Structure 1
């Protein structure tokens, strides 16, 4: 893990000295004598109502703290710039994947002492989600929400084609071919959506491969398993089940012009609102050797360095994450799956076949490498090369070679 430079550390110390008297917007006590707890997050629109409803439930549950939510675009960047102005919140709804990037910058406060003093057992959460919030053995927040990509399928289209829900790569290819419809040479119904190269990581896991080496010093995706993924993608493209750009600008699955896709639980609410759409969700297909594979994303709650009301923030974090009933309640509000394992396995989720598929997938879902620099490997090296592969500009070998060369350089520069 690359350490912050002395200059950066000194700069943050100065910023935190400025920020130490602030807690976001107003700070201090409310008119009812409660202490303000200001929460920031990137959620906006109708999601603000969801967070405000959950905050109101916490406020009602006790009489010491009053949580309020303030939506922030580019919340991580706003947090860093906020140190200079003293505009620091008490708690942040946090993309867990960002923890390994921002904790070394001094932006996040460790919570180990809170966890220890209150006897919180972090084993109640999905272990990979806890790992994402841990940097060099220090815990910087608690997991709140989890997600993964599982297989969505249009039950009407599958029934009409006499196709079973596939659970292997070969089954996926056969089903996708049977579900593809063309009018002359024009694709009118895609059998499977292959438009997101960012999902390479889960395909690689299904093939039995890895993203980085065991010591996390170099990439590992340029491998026989990585080639297996791209060759299978090529088989799907050669079979004509998908074309680049098909469905751009619309939700082709919701409109019934794509039969199958990989997507997350956030899609359920909008799809349920589509009249006449009958669909299901299954675990992702297994790879050629029977390997399962999926990746876990989602949010946690963190306390920034310089937060005025860290104690109040911790009480809110603890209330929301460690009490399963509160996680389930937010699931009812938002559709998100709790990171608390007991809450995620509540009948509210497991009795619904679509949520149940995500819960089963969660049992083997991994998280992306936390090594510093890997997010740039993915965004600047791997995904661009995969896009060139899907568009026919690079062969499978060329794409992985290019991504490896650039990715290894990025990791070396980050060390």
Structure 2
């Protein structure tokens, strides 16, 4: 990890720079695969599964027999953990239900909104270096609460053509409608365009590698909405002299093990804490099964010493992290100053892992600085707000002439006439 002491503000942009990848060739490859899936459907998906996931599939749909088998392969303890997490996620997202109210904006003019669920949504669940069954809960639970009629899930199978059983159990727990054995770009294409097996969806959710992210962005131009633009995962920890160095190091490493393109950032007001954390990271790193991945991640990561807490929170807001952990004595006051972050964890006991799995908040969050403009996945992500308005004769009298004047000023005579004919009808 790189140590930076008391940087000037002119250095901040370099400190928060994310790892860059050359995606010029990647986009060409993604475009080619998407076009093939659009043209040949299931057959193309099967061929790419054989090419990329090294499995020969006769059918890409997960059967009821496979769902039942999965329940026998997941331990009772893990199944109970999944149910606990689902309960908390469900409880938190149910609290986000929209309550529309009719508003009289003027005499005879009533306006309101109605929240309507997206009818068909697609969920992408990675299955590469780590099968993210927790993401199934995070994406499918709010979709079910919102009232989406069809929840389609795609995830890559292993070389025996099987989906990780915990993914299947989580999918059943959260109410997924249909599950398909498809990963990578071909899965995104199948959901965006529809195939003989996979229904076309209206919005696609879920994380993935750089190919999946590029595929999501490409299909979002014409064929399906996506949850958010995203990049590799990241965490920022702000720690003062009261922080627990062992906890801070564990938080940094829990993020670092995601993948070699992830990033971790420590901002501290204590030089002693900085070196305590560095030593703890080095000690704990040696104990990790995914040591090599975490070590590569740490090469892109920074330990930054700043003069005071105001500077710490300003640097964090400038970074706009996906995850922000505040291990400071006055974390509640600092939290009030957070304006750019995906999800915030307060105090020494609120580790990122709690939000990743079971506290109830959603772990599908904006990365790569997109927290300046995007929210994480929530109940509204699965809904559209449709506006309604009703005008009486009194309403026409109240705003009619203003509408005529504004339409005329914009030289839109047909717009003006649509109101004029109504005004005349009332005379």
Q: TM-score, normalised by structure 2?
A: 0.29
Q: TM-score, normalised by structure 1?
A: 0.30
Q: Which has the higher contact order (CA 8 A, sep 6+)?
A: 1
